[in-house]
Structure 1
Amino acid sequence: MKLKDFRTYFNTELSNKYPKKEIDTFFFRTIEHLLDWQPVTVFTKGDSILTDNILTDLKEVLNRLKKEEPIQYILGETEFYGYPFIVNKNVLIPRPETEELITWILEETKEHEALHVLDIGTGSGCIPITLNKEMNAPIITAVDISEGALLVAKQNADKNNATITFLKKDILQANDFKHKFDIIVSNPPYVRELEKEEIKNNVLNNEPHLALFVEDNNPLIFYKRIADLAKEQLKVNGLLFFEINQYLGEETQEMLVNKGFKNVILKTDLFGNHRMIKANL
């Protein structure tokens, strides 16, 4: 089968589940992953005959996309802040909103070097690894409760030549950090059970619920615990950064003020949603 013919087949098979632009993205990413061809090459080599092995791999990707599995899990990789990351079902897929949080942290700390940073709920390691690459000689510790997530994060640190200390901890119980930090950052679970109906099937049926959901009656459980920890573990004038639930921005801000934090700033993401917050002691 020619490449251009398979592309037509690929589009037809997915047209009832995804918009055309998204299908095109899936196709180009798959071809780049399997053949190392850029999109322009797809057009110039449309008459190329696909080998049986490549055709088998392409059909496997197609079948998994039909089941609404995320393309990042299918290919086993994604890009975050320009860096390559391994991803699987043990970790959340890094999002553009988290890139915005990274940019904010970098803007606030660009005049400093050798800052001690703690990342809580590290998942794929996208936050600490990117900070390691972009900050000036930081010293970074990252924690997660999931062994599977930590394994992925360590692989990503090796992949990106980043130096991170990874620790397995349940942050709701942890209180034994050996030194204080200049920055504590976290993108903890924050989606309420009542918000499940807003979640797309490819997320709901594939990404780890442990990293996504909290009970409706205590949606700020991780934020409250991390704020208490930050009061003990942040240095004077240390900074606390959170990615947050867009519906609970004001509640999160009020909680931090009530716990004694100063300069509590709520910030919107590129979609205009309350998505991140900064505070200091």
Structure 2
Amino acid sequence: MQTITTVAELRRALADAHRADKRVGLVPTMGYLHDGHLALIEASRAQCDVTVVSIFVNPTQFGPREDLSTYPRDFQRDEKLCRDAGVTIVFAPVSQEIYPAQFETFVEPGELAKPLCGAFRPGHFRGVATVVCKLFNMVQPDVAFFGQKDFQQCAVVRRMAIDLNLPIEIVTVPTVREADRLAMSSRNRYLSEEDRGQALAISRGLFAAAEAFGLGERNVDKLVAIAKRHLETVDQLQYLELVDGDTLKPASSPLHRPAALCVAAYVGSTRLIDNVILQPTP
């Protein structure tokens, strides 16, 4: 495994793979890796000849009162996990390598970036789309792998790839969960034991609604209400919405198209997101 910190070195390292028409996979991360990230790496290794993992805490996707300075970091641990997982290249640039002096060109996503997290984190998806587009240009992967937990991010990135004619397949890997069904997240380390108990209300609510859906419930308001009953114990419910799986617009009753029940909630000072996909059978 190579650890690379500059774009020039990265391009040199990938030149032979591109010339040999090897299939290159990219797993973009902000580090502090967990089993969710390792599932993305495993998917890349299964589908690609070369797997590149980027580790970069992207400043442009954090708001002024968010946790950029305290976001968990442990590069040595991440590097070992990548080596053990069979990663080909770890790309770990400094901020100036991604955003050089006088940087002023951003990717501005459209309607998909406005609801859900976009309504509460202005500029977040602008930062996400920009850094992901830059990573795509630097690595030139054939496939990029993202986790379903970040459902809206996946939708924004997929739309960007289509709109900008980027020849990259976007693969969404199912959410990996702890034994207690809490969705894996780097921010879970912020949770105290008491907080963690509260946080389980999120997955309980989502899975209760999914169970009702499996039993035939197709009324959007009823499905949301089922989930919401479980979420009364979180400190702040930022949103709980059932949205169309393609447009992210509010889903309509009776539910007949693929949809996502998405939630963002604060437990203590930690903001957690999660979702379940509801897939009507034809």
Same fold judged by TM-score > 0.5? no
Q: TM-score scaled by structure 2?
A: 0.31
Q: Which has the higher contact order (CA 8 A, sep 6+)?
A: 2
TM-score by length of 1: 0.31
